[in-house]
């Protein structure tokens, strides 16, 4: 896999260069010291992955991401000093198609190594391969579960902003995003929507009118007592938390009324899980091609006939409200 670096800090460039040198079958494609240079170099020589800083001279990483994804798209991970400090910029870049965000390695590079390996599997640059309806219960609140990846933050804002503060359903979201950035993501969402947003903790119960976000680099799962928990198993998934793992656990244990939605994102995660939800009697929705930043996960769901409806992002919230009313 060919990896490029876009960063105007020489020390950060050297750290990232050393990380790339450690990875078998990966090599440095080029280095750009500002956003404009990154756009130009990507147009002339598109790499498999760009490690993109947020703040750079001449042109920042957000605008560079927007232009690259429009002109010569490739996988982009935002790598910056503090993803939480620059949460708004990072989320804007993810809205343009950046896959993820992570802090620049300081005292260890395991997180970035894992991130790069995950991206390699998603874009096909790795040899790794991934391996009856129930009755609704009147005692449980309605539940909406959503999974998303590339472009997910903006899609989630569009959907969740249409739910009122006293919305009678519980909502759980699995977004492919690094654990160190989840708090910034939750803070940003709280500023955008009327429903309160919290990071799910082990043992959390589902409450109407509240949004819970998967909050670690482990899988979010539902236990038989209908509380949420985190689990390192199964290990053989490109992303942790995995939408598939969560959806499957919900299909197995939740006996109330529910809607499952699979949103924009690269890869296949969530498609099989959405199918399990449909088989368990859930109303299932896939985001349509036109409104997806990357039509990957929903596309697979449609191919598997996992979705009852295929809708533009702005129509998903009304569909949820209609089904649950």
In this structure, the answer to whether residues 79 and 178 fall within a common structural domain is no
Per-residue confidence (pLDDT) for residue 125, from 0 to 100: 67
Instruction: Print burial letters for 260-286: b (CB count within 10 Å at least 16), e (below 16).
Output: bbbbbbbbbbbbbbbbbbbebebbbbb
Whole-angstrom Cα distance, residue 188 to residue 191? 5
**CATH code at 219?**
3.40.50.180
In this structure, the answer to whether residues 167 and 117 fall within a common structural domain is no
Closest residue by Cα to residue 57 from 40, 81, 36: 36
**CATH code at 107?**
3.40.50.2300
In this structure, the answer to whether residues 109 and 229 fall within a common structural domain is no
In this structure, the answer to whether residues 186 and 266 fall within a common structural domain is yes
In this structure, the answer to whether residues 96 and 151 fall within a common structural domain is no
Per-residue confidence (pLDDT) for residue 180, from 0 to 100: 82
In this structure, the answer to whether residues 80 and 218 fall within a common structural domain is no
In this structure, the answer to whether residues 161 and 105 fall within a common structural domain is no
Residue 135 domain-assigned (yes or no) = no
Nearest 5°: CA angle at 291, between 275 and 237?
40
In this structure, the answer to whether residues 167 and 279 fall within a common structural domain is yes
Instruction: Print burial letters for 173-189: b (CB count within 10 Å at least 16), e (below 16).
Output: bbbbbbbebbebbbebb
- Supply the residues annotated as catalytic: 149, 176, 269
Q: Which domain holds residue 214?
A: 143-324
Specify whether the CB–CB gap between 267 and 294 falls below 8 A: no
Per-residue confidence (pLDDT) for residue 29, from 0 to 100: 96
Per-residue confidence (pLDDT) for residue 236, from 0 to 100: 80
Cβ neighbours of residue 67 closer than 8 Å, sequence gap 6 or more: 39
In this structure, the answer to whether residues 118 and 230 fall within a common structural domain is no
Provide block-wise average pLDDT over 10 residues at a time, the chain (325 residues). Answer: 95 92 91 97 96 94 96 94 89 91 76 82 57 48 96 96 94 92 92 95 93 93 94 84 97 94 96 96 97 96 97 98 90
In this structure, the answer to whether residues 81 and 179 fall within a common structural domain is no
Report field, pTM of the whole predicted structure over 0.85: no
Whole-angstrom Cα distance, residue 296 to residue 38? 26
Residue 32 domain-assigned (yes or no) = yes
Per-residue confidence (pLDDT) for residue 109, from 0 to 100: 66
Per-residue confidence (pLDDT) for residue 126, from 0 to 100: 55
What is the total count of domains within the chain? Answer: 2
Residue 128 domain-assigned (yes or no) = no
Per-residue confidence (pLDDT) for residue 113, from 0 to 100: 84
In this structure, the answer to whether residues 181 and 87 fall within a common structural domain is no
In this structure, the answer to whether residues 110 and 255 fall within a common structural domain is no
């Amino acid at each position: 896999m060919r990896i490029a670096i876009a960063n105007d800090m020489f020390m950060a460039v050297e750290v990232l260069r050393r990380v790339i040198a450690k990875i078998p079958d990966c090599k440095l494609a080029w280095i750009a010291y500002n956003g404009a240079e990154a756009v130009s170099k990507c147009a002339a020589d598109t790499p498999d992955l760009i490690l993109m800083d947020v703040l750079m001279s001449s042109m920042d990483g957000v605008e560079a991401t927007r232009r690259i994804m429009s002109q010569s798209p490739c996988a982009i991970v935002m790598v910056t000093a503090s993803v939480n400090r620059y949460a708004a910029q990072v989320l804007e870049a993810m809205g343009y198609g950046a896959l993820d965000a992570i802090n620049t390695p300081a005292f260890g590079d395991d997180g970035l190594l894992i991130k790069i390996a995950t991206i390699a599997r998603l874009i096909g640059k790795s040899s790794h391969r991934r391996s009856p309806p129930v009755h609704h219960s009147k005692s449980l609140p309605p539940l909406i579960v959503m999974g998303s990846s590339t472009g997910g933050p903006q899609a989630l804002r569009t959907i969740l902003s249409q739910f009122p503060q006293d919305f009678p359903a519980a909502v759980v979201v699995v977004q492919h995003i690094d654990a160190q950035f989840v708090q910034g993501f939750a803070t940003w969402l709280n500023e955008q929507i009327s429903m309160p947003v919290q990071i799910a903790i082990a043992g959390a119960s589902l409450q109407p009118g509240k949004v819970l976000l998967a909050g670690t680099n482990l899988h979010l799962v539902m236990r038989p007592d209908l509380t949420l928990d985190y689990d390192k198993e199964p290990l053989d998934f490109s992303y942790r938390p995995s939408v598939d793992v969560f959806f499957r656990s919900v299909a197995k244990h939740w006996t109330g009324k529910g809607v499952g939605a699979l949103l924009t994102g690269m890869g296949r995660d969530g498609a099989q899980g959405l199918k399990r939800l449909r088989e368990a009697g859930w109303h299932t929705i896939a985001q349509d091609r036109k409104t997806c930043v990357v039509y990957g996960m929903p596309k697979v769901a449609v191919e598997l006939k996992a979705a009852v409806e295929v809708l533009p992002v702005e129509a998903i919230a009304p569909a949820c409200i209609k089904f649950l009313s």
